Amino acid sequence: MAWLALLGRGVGDLMGRGIDLVCPPRCVFCREDADHHAAGPAVVCPDCRRRLGSDTPRCRLCGAQGSEEAECRSCRGRGREWDGIVVLGGYADEIRGAVLAAKRPAGQLVVAGLATLLLDRHRETLASWHSDVVVPVPMHWMRRATRGTSAAHGLARHLAIGLGIPCRSLLRRTRGTRMQNELPPAERRANVRGVFRALAVVAGRRVLLVDDVTTTGATLAECRAALAAAGAAAVHAAVVARADRGDSEPV
């Protein structure tokens, strides 16, 4: 009966609040007490939301700093390598520390926190893209076995839940490559050229591609090319950090 369902929800809410009073939930970043009822897949306190989620405006096409126009001065007239991108912040300071923590096997809560901040900052834009599926940028199986985790897969899974759409591993990295940060920018496109292959036809589907960090954009561009070859109607991207000029190289 409807009244029983309402009663059950009310009891569950009261129990949850009681547990919060006895054992207050803690922010996944600073570990201080936080509001359990804040929206998102993880508990993030207001201070950390401001500290990690208040980046400067960025171009919605290339992710460069300076403007939230659909096309900024630096990417105007260039070929479109994807259909749009959202970025949480530059690869510097505290975001860099959070990204590094997310790459470790014990960093699952940090991954959920970063996904929460991406949804906080860009939910409206992400929803406006009307994506049909969320796809993580894949690691080579050997590197993933060595590292023990994949931040991109965790981020994609949490973003998919937050947006109410499926998450699918539709890309495969066909061979191991050198780490992009080991190469000068001019050599990074060649390092990943032809590395990714779509595992299924995605004809007519709109894809949200997810990774933790982008630098030159070569990896995202190659993933987008593989998805487009499999029939994707549109490929947008969401990343935690973009390495701006002067930032440290991602690991």
- Residue 64 falls within a domain, yes or no? yes
Enter the pTM of the model: 0.83
pLDDT of residue 12: 41
Q: Hey, is 185 helix, strand or coil?
A: helix
Whether 153 maps to a domain, the answer reads: yes
> φ and ψ at 248, to 5 degrees?
-65, 155
Average pLDDT, stretch 120-135? 96
Count the domains in the chain: 1
Which residues span the domain enclosing 203?
A: 2-242
Query: End-to-end alpha-carbon separation of the chain, Å?
Result: 54
Kindly state whether residue 71 falls inside one of the protein's structural domains: yes
CB 190 within 8 A of CB 163: no
Q: Is residue 58 part of a domain?
A: yes
pLDDT > 50? residue 13: no
The CATH number covering residue 27 comes to 3.40.50.2020
Question: C-alpha 209: how far from its chain's center?
Answer: 8
Grouping H, G, I as helix, E, B as strand and the rest as coil, residue 52 is helix
The pLDDT score that the predictor gives to residue 175 is 85
Within-domain flag for 250: no
Q: Are 235 and 225 in contact (CB under 8 A)?
A: no
Looking at per-residue confidence, does 113 or 3 come out higher?
113
Give the residue among 156, 228, 216 at the shortest CA–CA distance from 192: 216
For residue range 232-247, list pLDDT tens digits in order.
Answer: 999 999 999 998 865 5
In a domain, 175, yes or no: yes
Mapping DSSP onto H, E and C, the string for 54-107 reads CCCCECCCCCCECCCCCCCCCCCCCCCCCCCEEEEEECCHHHHHHHHHHCCCCC
Compute how many other C-beta atoms are within 10 angstroms of the C-beta atom of residue 93.
13
User: How do residues 194-216 score in pLDDT, each as one tens digit?
Assistant: 889 999 989 999 999 999 999 88
Asked whether residue 249 is assigned to any structural domain, the reply reads no
Helix (H, G, I), strand (E, B) or coil at 211: strand
| Residue 25 in this model has a pLDDT that exceeds 50 | yes
What's the rounded Cα separation, in Å, for the pair 36 and 106?
21
Evaluate whether 207 touches 227 at the Cβ level (below 8 Å).
Answer: yes
The whole-chain average pLDDT of the chain stands at 83
251: in domain: no
